[in-house]
Amino acid sequence: GENVEQHPSTLSVQEGDSAVIKCTYSDSASNYFPWYKQELGKGPQLIIDIRSNVGEKKDQRIAVTLNKTAKHFSLHITETQPEDSAVYFCAAPGYGGSQGNLIFGKGTKLSVKP
Amino acid sequence: DTGVSQNPRHKITKRGQNVTFRCDPISEHNRLYWYRQTLGQGPEFLTYFQNEAQLEKSRLLSDRFSAERPKGSFSTLEIQRTEQGDSAMYLCASSSRGSLNYGYTFGSGTRLTVV
């Protein structure tokens, strides 16, 4: 089955700096990779996702890159702001491309210092 | 309909009692998922429904856990004979297979504390 590893577990940056969070996955058949942001007391919120037919996707200050050969994908946040502080989770399908079941990483707690 | 709704938000129960949680998904979403999240961990898959059919169930899911989605709309998750290890946040999510975006929309969760 799929295994998702996420690093780092905590990340502290100064406001305005960039933040990068990396995830690796094990199942080469996986074809969908979402990123979620979870604020205290709330459920995870989808912020960006990428499918295996593209290598990069951007949405304003957020971007995700995918390296299928190396089986890793990364979240990039530029010009960080204090409201970016949250826990971020990556995920991958649990069974060879199925979207019925997502396997999540353990999360990265991002702190943006004003 | 502005999102996925979960009730109750918090539940404290004594060990050995049964508890039931409810999830109301986004109305046009035909897929509904249950996840469990413990402190400092990512969500862990429990089970999922497409319409009223339960299509996947985690091997980690104890026989004390059961979920239903009788009319393909709301779902309930029941835990029988609760144990302290069941204390966690129980998250519900929904998605629409027909959409270009397969990403889940999560509810705010039900936090269960077993004392």
Residue B1's pLDDT band (boundaries 50, 70, 90)? low
For testing contact with chain A, the best of B56, B58, B104, B110 (most A CBs within 10 A): B104
B18: Cα within 13 Å, side-chain hemisphere: 9
Token pair listed for B78: 């029941």
Residue A93's pLDDT band (boundaries 50, 70, 90)? confident
d(Cα B100, Cα B93) in Å, to the nearest integer?
A: 17
d(Cα B106, Cα B91) in Å, to the nearest integer?
A: 7
Token pair listed for A50: 């990428």
The pLDDT value recorded for residue B42 is: 95
C-alpha dihedral sign at A3, B40, A87, B50: positive
Which residue in chain B is spatially nearest to A4 when comparing CA positions?
A: B42
Predicted confidence (pLDDT) at residue A98 exceeds the cutoff of 70: no
A49 pairs with which residues across the strands? A34
The pLDDT value recorded for residue B100 is: 46
Distance from CA of A15 to the nearest CA of B (A): 24
C-alpha dihedral sign at B11, B13, B15, B20: negative
Length of chain B: 115
A100·B56 Cβ contact <8 A: yes
Q: Count of CB contacts below 8 A, A vs B? A: 58
